[in-house]
Structures are given as C-alpha cells and as structure tokens.
Structure 1
Amino acid sequence: MGTEERLLKKTKMKIKSLCIFNSIREDEVIKKLYRMIDILDNKDKDIEAILDCYNDFAYELISNSSDSLKKYLIDKLVSEDNLLSKMVEKRNTEKISYVKEVASKELDYIKEISEINSRKIKEIIIDSYNLDEEESLIIGSMMEWNMNMEAGYKNTYSDIYKFKEKIFKKKCWNDVLEMLIDFYKSYGCGEFAKYRAFVWENCDKEGKLKGIDKPDPITLSELIGYESQQDEIIKNTLRFLKGYSANNILLYGDRGTGKSSTVKAIINEYYSMGLRLIELKKENLKDFTKIIRLLKNKPQKFIIFIDDLVFEENEDSYSAMKTILDGGVENRPDNMIIYATTNRRHLVKETFADRAGLGSSNSSDEIYANDTIQEKLSLSDRFGITISFMAPDQNKFLEIVQGLVKSRGLEVEEEYLFREAKKWELWYNGRSARTAKQFVDWIEGEILDNKKDEE
C-alpha cells in the first residue's frame, strides 16, 4: 500500500473512530469530506464522480467557514455539544475521568483531519487517474482550502476568540483537553457558548430560544451621565455572578435615558464570566416555567430581561409576572435573575376612575376598590431594587454630549457644540441620553463630511 493510500485509509478511520466528539463525525461538512476520501480511496468511480464530491465538500466548507477546515473544526469543538461537554455540564467528574484518555486521542485525530488541504487531495487525484497536463491544470484550478495554515484568528477581542487562537497554535491537541474542560465549565457548550444574548420566541405554542448573531455592542463607557445607577446594577450583577444573594431589578424612568442599553452593556461587560441575557416579551411570561426547566442546570448565569414592562387592566400576564416575582410552585433557580425596564413606576396603567374608586357601579365591589388599587401598585415593590433613570436637566444633557464627543475623540469647539446641542434638543426629542447620542452621531457625520469635502 502506497503512502497516499495509507493517508486516505487512516483519515477515514480517524473520522469513523470519533465517539466523544460524535457531533463532528455526524457533521455535514465532515460527511462530505469522508465521502470524497472514500471514493478516492476505492478508485471505483470515474473522475467526474470524484470532482463532484470534491466540489460538494469545498462548497459546504466555504459556505460555513471561509476557506479553513481547521478553523471550522475548532468552532465545532467550542460551540457544538458533545459527550464531554454534556458530562462537564452535569458536573459528572467520575465519567469525565473515565473518558479523558479517549477524548485526548480523539482531539489529536481531529487536529490531523483539520490539516488536510486541497493541494494534497489534488495531487492524489492527478496521480490516481494518470491525468495529462491539460487535465491536471483543470484539477489545479479548482477551489482550494487550508492553503494558509499559519493564518490564525484576526479578531481576538473576546475570550472565546482568544481560546480558539490557543487551540489553533497548539501542535498537539491532546494538550487542549484540560483547557477545553475548563472552557465548558465557564462557558458551557452549544448555543450558550456561541451566543451571549437570546430572545425567547413562541411560535405555534412552542417556545424556544433564538441566539442573536449580532447583539447591541454598547459598552458601559458609552453610557455617560448615569454612573451611580450603573454602579448599583453592576454591584448586584457581580454578587449574582459570584453566587451570592442578589435582587431582581426594576429600571424605571423616562424614555431614552439608557435603561435598556445599561442592561445590554452589562452583558457585554461580563459575558466572559458566564453571564447571558434572555430577552422575554411580556406576552410570553406564561412560558417562564419552560425557561426555568431549560436553564436551571446550565453552568452560566442568566439575566431574564423584560423590556418596556407595563400592564393593561385585567391583563393575564400581570398575574404571571406576580407569580414569577413571588416564586411559584417551581422556584426560580440560583442561576437566573430578572431585570426589567419600564416608564411607569407602578407598572399598571391607572385611570381616573381607578384613583377615585369608581371602577365599578356595584357598591359591594367598591368596598374592595382600595385593596385592588393597592394590589396593582404593589407589583413594582416585588422587585428587590428599583433604580430611577430620570431625564437630564440642560447642564446634565450638555455634560453627556461633551462626554460622548470626548469618548469618540472628536475635536469640536465647545461654544459651537453647546449651541448646536441646545438647538437639537428643541427641534427633536427633548433632553435624554438617546437624544445626546443622536446629536453626537450627527456632529460626527458633519465632521467626516467636511473633511472629505476639504480633500
């Protein structure tokens, strides 16, 4: 048996031997790789069949992962569930010890599979079919992959990309095993390692989590003027992450003051510590028990985020929210906390009739009118912490504008900046952190536009 034949047979054996990382063996890209190698190894098909399989594999790989089989497989190790990650998630140390030796060998096999490149496969095709010069040129012009094996990850700004880069640079992937176990402990695997933020969707009465590919990249440093509010939320979040007692938080205040942005910035700041966000719409509060069962054994910590929370009269979701905050039959686990935003301090829309106790014409009902009103007003009190975000006065508004200009490195004459900012808040949406950001976006665009005209 020649060197090329041994390479093909060994590669097929390595793919089929994967058990701990079975998800890689069953992956569509790897199935197409196996099919290509199997046909080439058996030499029982004509050249057209080989080329079809080659292009099927190349197309599938490039559709999913640019031109790098190595990076594709690293992504699978990090973000796809496997037997090892499931054992780590269940904290089954006995079974982890049992599979370590096999897992270590499989990691080396995956490393070797990841380094198969198009140039080598093309050489085998040309040699196997005794192609002439013109035919060889056709094979040589076909799509390539893994041709730049030294090119690592460009964006190593996050801990997950830094971890992938470490794997990429390792000569032997059995050295990665302990790192991988630690990673699964901190980040989990599957979608909870891949995404930092999710939305809960309910379609045809079937609720499910959907990962957000590009969550809002807002950072705490960009949210100027509400530092004391941020500090309180950060302290509560860090206690939660450390496993200490922490409170649900209601962020209350005027529109555009940065309530929602603060929660999103908290996730961006602390997701590397295992923090994740689940955005839950008010109408899906009835699904909270499903969410509990899905998340309660995960290693991550979850903020259940309910944005713009306000209830109408006799709304069903009001009772669901009350039950969630009070604790139902199935208690909220320690790895979940609720952060909600609202523009209404007491969360329930009141009418003048409510305030006057005139909600019913039945005199017997009126006896309990005050109790009903107090019950409505008490919902916000069930949050452990309420933090107010009020619209800024003019001095605070200008301070926010100035801070944003400075953070972006823009050079604007102060008198002009303040004059235009005052015009902006009069013409548009009044004074708020959101209005300040919109104004600075405009100023930045003006500066860039003027520079281009000068050039």
Structure 2
Amino acid sequence: MNRILPHLILYSDLGSESILVRLADIIRDCKNGGAKEPLLQRTNAEVKRILDLSTVCGFDENLWQCYLTWVLMTNDNSFTRTCERTGAVEGGSVNRFAENDFAVFHQLFHYDFSELEQYLLTDCFSILTNYRAIPKRERTYNRDVSAQVRALRKSLSEAENGHEMFRLVTDYYRQYGYGVFAMNRAFRIRRGETGLEFLPISNVDGVRLEDLLGYERQKTELRRNTESFLAGKHANNVLLYGDAGTGKSTSVKALINEYYDRGLRMIEIYKHQFGELSRILAEIKNRNYRFIIFIDDLSFEENEVEYKFLKAVIEGGVETRPENVLIYATSNRRHLVRETWNDRQDMEHHGDIHRSDTMEEKLSLAARFGVTINYNAPSPKEFQAIVKALAERQGIQMDEKELMVKANAWEVRHGGFSGRTAQQFVHYLEGLAE
C-alpha cells in the first residue's frame, strides 16, 4: 500500500491524518522490520477509526471497501467539482489523471492484508472485510449515507478495472455530487476553527406532505413554488404564518423528503446565526443542488436588529441571492417584527395615520417574502376529523363518540384546536393501549 498511494494525483491530498495514509505508513514500517507491539497498537487504532465511521454511517459487509468508497464520495478536488456540474466530459485530459487514480483505488479495493496480519499476529482485516453489523435503529445512523455507500461499494467491488470504476464514480458525481451535500438531505451550521461547518442532520423526520391532514390549498401552493425552483424557473421565498401547531414547520420539513432525489437540500439556521448568511451563500452558490434555508419560528422583538441581515440577503444587498437558494420561514406572526403604537406616532394629516419610517422598516421584512401562506387553526369539526383520521391511521380501536368526547376534553386542557394537539392526543391514546 505504501508503494501504491504515491501514484495518486487528483486524490493525493488525503491528509496525513487519514486512515489510508496512516495504514500505508504502518505497512511500510512492518516491511522495514519495525517493533511489532507499537505497530499493532497503531493498526488497532486505525481499525477502531474504521469501526467508528462504520457505526455512524451504517456500513456493513466489507468495511474496508466501504471506507474507500466513502473517501471517493467525500473527496473535494478539481475533478469532483467539475463532475458534479457537468459529469466526466469525454476527451478531457483530466480524465487520464482520474483513470490513473481509479486504477490505484482498484488495487486498494482488493488489497491483500494477509502479510500484515501474519507479521502482527492479528486477523482484524479479515474480520473487517467480512463484517456483519449488529442491526441498529434507524435514528442511530444516517440512512442516506448508508444506502449510498453500500450501493456504490457493491458496484465498485465488482468492477473489473480502474476504467470501470471511473465510469461508476463519475456517474455518481453527476447524479448526486460529492461530499456532505451528496449524502445528506438536511444540515445545521457551526462556526469552527477552520471556518463555517455544515453539520448533517442524521435523524431527519420522515414526514411527507400527505401525512399532514387538511391544508390542501396551502400544500399545493408550497409544492408549486418548490417544483418551479427545482425546475430552474423563477420561484419566491416563502413565509408560512398562522396559529401554533397547525403544521407550518411540518410542511417545510416534508419537502426535503419529497424532493431529496431531485437535488433539494435544506439548511436550518437560527436567529443568532443570521450574521453567517453571507458566508453560507458563498459556500453553496456554486454547488449543483437547490438549497432551502429554513428558519423556524421567525419573529423579532422591538429591540432586535438581526432581521436586517436577513433583509439584505433576501433582497437588497449588493450581491444578488444565488439562483440555487431560497429562504423558507415559519412564524406565528404575519408581520415578523414586533410593532408598537409608538411606531405610528410620527405625524397625522387630516386624521389619517402617516406611517412612520420606523414602521415601514419593520414591515419591509415580511414584504420581501414573495409567497405568504396562512395556516389557520382548524374549526372544532375539522379538529375532530383530524383526530378520527389519526386514530384510524394508528389502529386505535375506540367508539367514535367516546373518542370525540375524550378529544374535546384533551383540547380544553392542552392548548386549543390544532393538528399538534390532535397528534399529542393520539400519542396519549397509543400509550394507554400499550
């Protein structure tokens, strides 16, 4: 392995801390007759790193090949960036360098660890290459990463040569891209030591729009705008506003499950992170995905000024918002910034209120969302219909009259008519049934 890695060109920048580079160093030291105990400790440390990665990503069967596949899927270089946007262009000179690298990876995929194992008196790689993972609950690992890595790993393991691996991986880049955006559907952000970090959300709620009962007009309008966006047509930023618990956030979250396969990704940010918006846009504007920046429960008190960062990004800054980015926000307020009567006490003309500059400033944020969708609380009859449908969906057997009496009593004690209250009531009934 230590003699193979130096032949990499495009994928050569693996980093000195990478598992692959460290294992190559270990194999070199073994061939030079290094002390066995320290080398075994170093080997076990790298094996543990592979196992840890496999647990997080849900790898199985051949963990060594899964790790190499993950390296190919996440490596950021000029070739992966080009392939994400245009695929592998036939006749391009860079393809010759890439095929050279895939010939190296073909050797690594079928690397024989028996000499290393014999020297160190271990069978760790034999176990890694014939692994049977313990079944895990879906929320303990990222199912999107697991599915993609395992599918591509299987295809690459059957490839006859580096040329076939080149075709398989470049097809993957063209379809999905590379890096964390290729393998994950939703993210949060964090300011790290090396800059802005996108943190994948591994346990994304699997809700879909049809799971939200009622609000058909609202869901249709949300779909229409999102599908226009995905088709590369003009689309608007969206504000979903209305009563609490009516499904505003659920509707937005459902989009990522509906349209993930069409390249939609979601980045959830919080109010205190609005100052990072320009940096987020700089990171994602040249990627071959469509991004929704999701802001949940958006509102501002009178003395908060973070909304100005948001206004500048939505519309009005010197740099235009990238065409692959939209902002979807939810709020219980139609006008997002708290107003007071003092804002109107600018002057009066003939008994009419003259809107002050302060008030215009506050109202202008909501006006910059091109689509506003109202989610109003259901009527008592609609609330009962939601309860009945949810109970049937969960297989709860109860006389309808008794169900309605209990639901109405629950609503009085738990915050009024809303889909959230209905869902909480049905969860309560499920707990009693157990």
Report TM bin, short chain.
Answer: 0.7 to 0.9
Contact 1:15 1:25 in 2 (8 A): no
Asked if 1:358 is matched to 2:353, the reply is: no
Cα deviation 1:26-59 (Å, max 9, x = unaligned): 55211232123212323x2233244233323322
Match of 1:46 among 20, 35, 41: 35
Paired residue secondary structure (1:106): helix
Cα deviation 1:339-372 (Å, max 9, x = unaligned): 1111111112122444xx3379x99xx9954454
Q: Distance in 2 between matches of 1:301 and 1:26?
A: 33
Q: Residues 33 and 241 (structure 1 numbering): CA distance in 2 closer, same or farther, change over 3 Å?
A: same
Contact 2:69 2:149 in 1 (8 A): no
Letter paired with 1:415 = K
Contact 2:16 2:22 in 1 (8 A): no
Q: Distance in 1 between matches of 2:190 and 2:126?
A: 39
| Identity rate, percent | 34
Number of residues paired by the alignment? 419
Note the residue ranges of structure 1 that are not aligned, 5 or more in a row: 1-10, 127-138, 450-455
Q: Residues 405 and 444 (structure 1 numbering): CA distance in 2 closer, same or farther, change over 3 Å?
A: same
Task: Report how far residue 329 of structure 1 moved.
Answer: 0.6
Partner of 1:377: 363
Partner of 1:35: 25
Asked if 1:161 is matched to 2:147, the reply is: yes
Match of 1:323 among 282, 299, 312: 312
Letter paired with 1:68 = L
Q: Residues 426 and 142 (structure 1 numbering): CA distance in 2 closer, same or farther, change over 3 Å?
A: same
Match of 2:224 among 235, 255, 258: 235
Cα deviation 1:208-242 (Å, max 9, x = unaligned): 43332333333223222223211211111111011
Task: Report how far residue 375 of structure 1 moved.
Answer: 4.7
Asked if 1:22 is matched to 2:16, the reply is: no
Asked if 1:148 is matched to 2:143, the reply is: no
Contact 1:251 1:389 in 2 (8 A): yes
Paired residue secondary structure (1:305): strand
Letter paired with 2:73 = V
Q: Residues 313 and 71 (structure 1 numbering): CA distance in 2 closer, same or farther, change over 3 Å?
A: same
Partner of 1:134: none
Paired residue secondary structure (2:334): coil
Q: Distance in 2 between matches of 1:65 and 1:222?
A: 32
Task: Report how far residue 182 of structure 1 moved.
Answer: 3.4
Cα deviation 1:293-326 (Å, max 9, x = unaligned): 2221111111111222222235322333333333
Partner of 1:61: 50
Partner of 1:443: 429
Asked if 1:276 is matched to 2:268, the reply is: no
Cα deviation 1:378-431 (Å, max 9, x = unaligned): 432321111001111122112222332333444444333323222221121222
Paired residue secondary structure (2:294): strand
Q: Residues 279 and 57 (structure 1 numbering): CA distance in 2 closer, same or farther, change over 3 Å?
A: closer
Question: Once superposed, what is the RMSD of the aligned Cα atoms?
Answer: 3.5
Letter paired with 1:190 = G
Asked if 1:419 is matched to 2:405, the reply is: yes
Partner of 2:58: none
Q: Distance in 2 between matches of 1:317 and 1:439?
A: 37
Paired residue secondary structure (1:298): coil
Q: Distance in 1 between matches of 2:46 and 2:295?
A: 43
Partner of 1:452: none
Match of 1:98 among 93, 97, 103: 93
Letter paired with 2:372 = T
Contact 1:307 1:341 in 2 (8 A): yes
Q: Residues 147 and 292 (structure 1 numbering): CA distance in 2 closer, same or farther, change over 3 Å?
A: closer
Q: Distance in 1 between matches of 2:194 and 2:19?
A: 33
Partner of 2:372: 386
Q: TM-score, normalised by structure 1?
A: 0.80
Paired residue secondary structure (1:332): coil
Partner of 2:59: none
Q: Distance in 2 between matches of 1:430 and 1:51?
A: 64
Partner of 1:221: 210
Q: Distance in 2 between matches of 1:225 and 1:212?
A: 28
Note the residue ranges of structure 2 that are not aligned, 5 or more in a row: 56-61
Paired residue secondary structure (2:266): strand
Larger-Rg structure: 1
Partner of 2:295: 306
